[in-house]
Amino acid sequence: MNGTYNHTQRSPLCLLLYALGFMFLILSWVLRNEPVIEGMFLFIGVLMLFLAASFHHLKVEDEGDQLGIRFGPIPLFRRTVFYSEIESVAVGRTTILDGWGIHLSLRGGWVWNLWGRDCVVLKLHKSILHVGTDDPVHLADFVKSRLEGLNRNEHNSERQQS
């Protein structure tokens, strides 16, 4: 597989966060005569709306020498993984306990998941990363092809030095 990879997974989870955000904003207006509760509900409502806008989608894309993983459209949560740091890649599934979001997995490593249980497991030099996706086969194949390309380049440079 040559070329680049760019895939965006969408989730209805943000709709729940939007609903909660608007509910808290309405409650803060209804309870505007209770200053402490009004302020607390206003803060929670704005926070929920901000988080909803941060978890609309999960975008995984090739960025040359690294794989970019970003929740968005507000790019509050993002990370990159250099292909040279990846030891192996496999299609996998998260557990029900792994759930959604960004957190440590009970099985070890990190989970970055927006929706569903399909994922690609990246074994890195120092950790494991479970990247949730609705396109696990294509993502795993793409990363494998990038790793094969790295190995070929290393082998060719070793031969040239000999």
Summarised one tens digit per residue, pLDDT across range 112-138 is 999 999 999 999 999 999 999 999 999
Section 44-49 average pLDDT: 96
* Sheet architecture: strand order including 86-93: 86-93, 118-124, 128-132, 110-113, 101-104
pLDDT band, residue 158 (cuts 50/70/90): low
C-beta of residue 133 within 8 angstroms of C-beta of residue 10: no
Q: Report the chain's mean pLDDT, rounded to a whole number.
A: 91
Q: Which residues are registered as beta bridge partners of 118?
A: 93
Distance CA 48, CA 42 (A): 10
* pLDDT for the residue numbered 154: 64
Q: Which residues are registered as beta bridge partners of 80?
A: 68
* pLDDT for the residue numbered 62: 97
Section 102-120 average pLDDT: 92
Unique residue bearing structure tokens 């941060």: 54
* pLDDT for the residue numbered 151: 76
| Report field, pTM of the whole predicted structure over 0.85 | no
pLDDT in tens, 54-92: 999 999 999 999 999 999 999 899 999 999 999 999 999
* pLDDT for the residue numbered 98: 82
Section 27-53 average pLDDT: 94
User: Is residue 161's pLDDT more than 80?
Assistant: no
Q: In a 10 Å sphere around its CB, with 0-12 CB exposed, 13-18 middle and 19+ buried, how is residue 137 labelled?
A: exposed
User: Is residue 35's pLDDT more than 60?
Assistant: yes
Distance CA 15, CA 12 (A): 5
Of the candidates 48, 53, 54, which has an alpha carbon nearest to the alpha carbon of residue 102?
A: 54
* pLDDT for the residue numbered 150: 81
Q: Where are the domains of the chain?
A: 83-161
